[in-house]
């Protein structure tokens, strides 16, 4: 950890803004679809069943078939546009529940029961690259040609037995950018004063690059009591330690003490918390927020909250309910305030935020530089040009 | 029946498309108001009471008065625009419930209680031709001058004691065209596989004209069991007969077997089912789907389902609950899928259907050729020009 | 009272229409914010607490602090736009519940906890003149510079022990203009026929000026029974007296009998009822209807219904439940019909009302002459230009 702290006073210079899109307002920044996104939990897609999801309004059906394994295709029948997810999984494909057209795992139409010799082309639908890991189902909703080269998110702690993992799964009625800002700005612990007591946040510095920003914090307690859940997650010695004198605390914080590092690396966000002297984080959190609807005013979070197991076996398992209670309380307050932010944006019609904190200014830049313009006139799925042509020539 | 079957191979040539309107999308085709439409059941309009309905967003009040009988006028007071249907039926007219203005069965304002000598013209509202038959109340919502010459729908079976009649009355959240397509395409029996078992549909041919299309089908059972309700409605010998060999079935079907004929004759739709050798249909269904709302995304069905009584008296009455159960199950599945179609249309913003079945292509042509453009800017009732003028000069 | 009656035949000539705004439709007339408006009841704002209201969509928080007393500021944090009303009242100001920014009673930002030396300007928000009287909290939502000179509404009866006061507090889903028209047109007693019996309204005359209109009525009962609540409010001898002969009644009414005077003096409305021969009104009602939402399709009424106490002490208190029951019944019918009027307007898209009653024509003129255009593109609070500039330069 120590080398990171040294870098704080010399942040990476911000490179010139990429001309990725001309996004006038952060809340109108669409999430770039050319990444691997977790769109469901593994347990949501039962064997032999279909599960409907949407990514930025695009309907996608996840299918777990015996013959073809897990696959993802557009959730609409090429015939009458009803969702395939209400149909029948059959022989490595899915059959529409209305007139029985069948599509395989590549989206090709392979059977129309009442049509024996017709050319089934171009009745196909789009398919999506799809992978399963960490108990999550990842889909690549953008240009499938890029799926192989775009890095798949690595989260070692989620597969490390030294950690116990809580999978986060929650839907919040706001643009995903509010989520990044919420977590990145640790000054918002004021929001959680009832659950966490009075915490003083120390901003230690930031580093950044074209598609990322990373911020270090330390904390000291000004008052109130640490909850049991927090104590289990990050230990008693860290943020919990009461330091009444602020300057002493700042000196401490900058030296060697507990450190929290929050990083938005587009489109993901991570939070790591190291207690003083440890070389592995006590808490290692990975989050992804994706837009559910076309207007991108609703987001779904899937996250992996990895908590280092204490030396005493089963202690964490016994204390798990306290962790659940504490984190749910925090999440509910965040959901409440982020939905109020979205409501204010909807009423004001444009982003009026008056941001003065450098860390948040950077995260905003990362989101607008790397996002794409939401196209409000865009309707329907991101079909390839051939599909669109076929549809209109039909 | 046999002559019809012969015609199949020589369908009526489709005449050149009438330039009735320039309708770019079937889901934007408004229903032509110049027909007789059932807008309520007789029992919905009690003696001395008013009943509110809407046709494509136009508010209409149906009134059953002792003095003037049944009549239909605009459901708005000329004064303050509140619905007359919340007022009081009185002396062959209806009095507004707010300030007490009164209108007679022609829509003329005949009394303003606090205004003794004012000229009541032009405070009148529109009236509609109105007739009662088959237990339904029919209104002519279009140009009243055409009401006498436009044919009133004839449904002999509904008045024939050899048939028992079920009146259909259901509201579905979709454009009325989905209803025509749903019934016309018998391949959608796949949707009803849980209720009907596995039925193979044989398309025997179609005939068509400028404002109609008629399609013949036969069926054979591939698996599953026939329900009791279906058995009562169409007999055991028909679609219920299991024929495992498909070519044999097709040969059979084309020869003499049970026949179903579905006909859209704008704006109505009928279905007749003849068991082999009979000269009268076992099932004779008449349906009308009208738009309730201005955007025509919700439709109301009124239908007459006439089922031939079996030779044993009262047998059908005893078995009626099974018929109700079976038909309600079918209806609910149709409602579910048609509302999914509308939802897909709403998301896609235009009709993406990729229709390959000739019968449905024809029914789509009939609907767009005979419809009128929905005018999204149109507000309020189809008042005659004089009414509109009076309103604006006021 | 008698001098007023004499004036009836000589109404004040209507002056030329002021060019206050070019309002094409009364339902699109925005309420002029340059008046004192009751936005809450005193009891709604507890000590040390904040209370959120909106005026025409502008969010305003009312705060009752120990140090600074009652004050009103914009209900949004200058930082992230969330409502301050969900924050914490503290030391004569209010602290945002998210990151803890604090604003004083003038709207100036006085503290950002994690920012020690930054210039806090221009992070301030707007404040509003605010006064408390009659158990109501009044705010001046327009140009604060005018607050001192614009007259504060005077309602002596509300502070006169000879009267018992009921504070009215109700929200109705319609443009506020429907409320003025509803009360002003006493012919709408037909609406209340079930509660009041059959009342004949006599229009005695009107007087008017640029921003006001005043109308006198008398009544006689044609049938039905007077309710107990009405009897307590206005006495038995008044409107309750049964006069079967209409001409006699009119003669009576014009002479000396009970008189009701309804006055819209922009933006307020009053109703006074004098029983024959009395010099003080038996019923003295003051009402204000303000728009809650930006589109001004919802209004909130705060009113003071002052009823003269009878000579027998406590009699009114004993009969109070009957008054509550009667007035609530009347209010509910008015709410029902006014919301139907708004629904008709929404469907028709413009005002189609065909008004023939001179009193209502005048009240409509007062509302459009004195209103301002609703700006549908307007988003957010009526910040002063400096605020807007600061926001965009940030």
Q: Which of A17-21, A363-367, B303-307, C345-349 has the lowest mean pLDDT?
A: A17-21
Taking CB atoms and an 8 Å cutoff, what residues of chain B touch A83?
340, 344
Chains that touch B (3 or more CB pairs under 8 A): A, C
What would the pLDDT profile of B103-124 be if each residue is shown by its tens digit?
A: 999 999 998 988 764 555 567 8
Structural fold of domain C47-149: Rieske Iron-sulfur Protein (2.102.10)
Query: How far is residue A131 CA from its own chain's centroid?
Result: 16
Q: Given this model, what pLDDT does residue A214 score?
A: 97
> What does the pLDDT read at residue C394?
38
Query: Does C79 contact A348 at a Cβ distance shorter than 8 Å?
Result: no
Structural domain A46-149, CATH architecture:
3-layer Sandwich (2.102)
Q: How far is B66 from chain A (nearest CA, A)?
A: 49
**At A260, which helix (H) or strand (E)?**
strand A259-265
Mean pLDDT of C84-109: 96
Residues of B230-240 as b/e, b for ≥16 C-beta within 10 angstroms? Answer: bbbbbbeebbb
Of A78, A86, A380, the CB nearest to B347: A380
Q: Which residues of B touch C (CB under 8 A)?
A: 57, 59, 76, 78-83, 86, 97-100, 112-115, 118, 123, 294, 379-380, 391, 394
C191:B113 CB<8 A: no
Rounded to a whole number, what is the distance in Å from the CA of B31 to chain A's nearest CA? Answer: 21
- Ranges of each domain in chain A: 2-20+153-373, 46-149
Answer whether A352 sits within 8 Å of C123, measured CB to CB. Answer: no
Contacts with B344 from chain A: Cβ below 8 Å = 76, 80-83
Select the residue from C180, C200, C344 to test the B interface by mutation, using most B Cβ atoms within 10 A. C344
**pLDDT score of B254:** 53
**Mean pLDDT, residues A100-127 taken together:** 82
Q: How far is CA A354 from CA B92, B290, C101, C388, in A?
A: 67, 53, 12, 12
**Which residues of chain B does A99 touch, with a Cβ-Cβ cutoff of 8 Å?**
185, 187-188, 190-191
User: CA of A39, closest CA in chain B: separation in Å?
Assistant: 20
Q: Which of B182, B190, B223, B364 to mutate to test the interface with A (most CBs of A within 10 A)?
A: B190
> CA A130 to CA C275: how far, in whole Å?
83
**Beta-carbon count within 10 A of C66 CB:** 10
Residue A56: burial class (beta carbons within 10 Å; 0-12, 13-18, 19+): buried
| CATH number of this structure's domain B46-133 | 2.102.10.10
Q: How many angstroms separate the CA of residue B241 from the nearest CA in chain C?
A: 54
Beta pairing, strands A88-90 & A93-95: antiparallel
State residue C373's pLDDT score. Answer: 87
Q: Is this complex scored with an ipTM above 0.90?
A: no
Question: Do the chains contact at B190 and A118, CB–CB below 8 Å?
Answer: no
> Is the pLDDT confidence value at A146 over 90?
yes
Q: Nearest C-alpha of chain A: how many angstroms from B196?
A: 14
pLDDT of residue C222: 73
Give C319→chain A minimum CA distance, Å: 46
Q: What is the pLDDT of residue C385?
A: 36
Contact C82 A344 (CB under 8 A): yes
| pLDDT digits 0-9 by tens, A152-182 | 999 999 999 999 999 999 999 999 999 999 9
Strand-pair partners of C373: C29
pLDDT given at position A10: 33
CB contact under 8 Å between A348 and C380, yes or no, is yes
| Nearest-angstrom CA–CA distance, C132 and C36 | 11
pLDDT at C250 over 70: no
Helix B315-348 to helix B176-184 angle (10° resolution) is 120
CATH assignment, B2-20+149-373: 3.90.380.10
Give the model's confidence band at B318: pLDDT under 50 very low, under 70 low, under 90 confident, else very high: confident
What's the pLDDT tens digit per position in B351-392? 999 888 999 999 999 999 999 988 766 554 434 334 433 444
Considering only residues A266 and C122, tell me which one the structure prediction assigns the higher pLDDT.
A266
Summary mean pLDDT of chain A = 85
Measure CB to CB from residue B352 to each of A81, A112, A115 and give the nearest one.
Answer: A81
Homologous superfamily (CATH) for A2-20+153-373: Naphthalene 1,2-dioxygenase Alpha Subunit; Chain A, domain 1 (3.90.380.10)
pLDDT digits (tens, 9 = 90+) for A313-352: 788 888 889 889 999 999 999 999 999 999 999 999 999 9
A80 CA to chain B: closest CA distance, Å?
5
Please indicate whether, in this complex, the C-beta atoms of C379 and A340 are within 8 angstroms of each other: no
pLDDT in tens, C138-172: 999 999 999 999 999 999 999 999 999 999 999 99
- pLDDT at residue C319 is higher than 70: yes
Contact B79 C203 (CB under 8 A): no
Looking at the domain that runs over C2-20+151-373, which CATH code has it been given? 3.90.380.10
In the predicted model, is pLDDT for residue A391 greater than 60? no
pLDDT at A230: 75
pLDDT exceeds cutoff 90 at B156: yes
Contacts of A353 in chain C (CB under 8 A): 79-81
In chain B, which residue's Cα lies nearest the Cα of C186? B99
Res A19 pLDDT > 70: no
């Amino acid at each position: 950890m120590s080398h990171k702290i040294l870098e704080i006073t010399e942040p990476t210079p911000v490179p010139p803004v990429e001309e990725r899109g001309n996004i006038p307002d952060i809340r109108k920044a669409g999430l770039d679809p050319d990444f691997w996104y977790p769109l469901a939990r593994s347990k949501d897609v039962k064997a032999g069943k279909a599960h409907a999801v949407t990514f930025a309004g695009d309907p996608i059906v996840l299918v777990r078939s015996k013959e073809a394994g897990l696959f993802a295709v557009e959730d609409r029948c090429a015939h009458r546009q009803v969702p395939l997810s209400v149909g029948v999984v059959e022989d490595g494909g899915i059959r529409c529940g209305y007139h029985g057209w069948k599509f395989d795992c590549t989206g090709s139409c392979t059977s129309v029961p009442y049509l024996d010799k017709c050319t089934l082309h171009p009745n196909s639908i789009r398919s999506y690259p799809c992978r399963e890991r960490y108990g999550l189902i990842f889909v690549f909703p953008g240009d499938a040609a890029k799926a192989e080269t775009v890095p798949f998110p690595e989260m070692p702690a989620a597969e490390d037995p030294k950690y116990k993992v809580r999978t986060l799964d929650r839907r919040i009625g706001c643009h995903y950018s509010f989520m990044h800002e919420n977590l990145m700005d640790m000054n918002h612990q004021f929001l959680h004063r009832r659950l966490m007591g009075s915490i003083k946040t120390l901003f230690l510095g930031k580093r950044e690059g074209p598609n990322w920003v990373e911020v270090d914090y330390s904390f000291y307690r000004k008052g109130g009591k640490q909850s049991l859940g927090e104590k289990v997650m990050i230990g008693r010695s860290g943020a919990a330690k009461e330091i009444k004198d602020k300057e002493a605390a700042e000196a401490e914080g900058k030296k060697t003490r507990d450190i929290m590092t929050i990083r938005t690396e587009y489109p993901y966000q991570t939070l790591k918390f190291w207690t003083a002297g440890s070389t592995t984080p006590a808490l290692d959190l990975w989050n992804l927020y994706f837009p559910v609807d076309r207007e991108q005013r609703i987001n779904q979070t899937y996250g992996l909250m990895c908590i280092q197991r204490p030396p005493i076996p089963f202690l964490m398992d016994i204390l798990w309910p306290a962790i659940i209670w504490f984190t749910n309380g925090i999440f509910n307050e965040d959901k409440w305030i982020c939905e109020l932010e979205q409501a204010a944006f909807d009423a004001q019609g444009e982003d009026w935020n008056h941001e003065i904190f450098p860390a948040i200014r950077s995260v905003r830049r990362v989101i607008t530089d790397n996002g794409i313009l939401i196209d409000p006139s865009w309707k329907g799925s991101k079909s390839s040009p051939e599909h669109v042509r076929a549809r209109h020539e039909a």
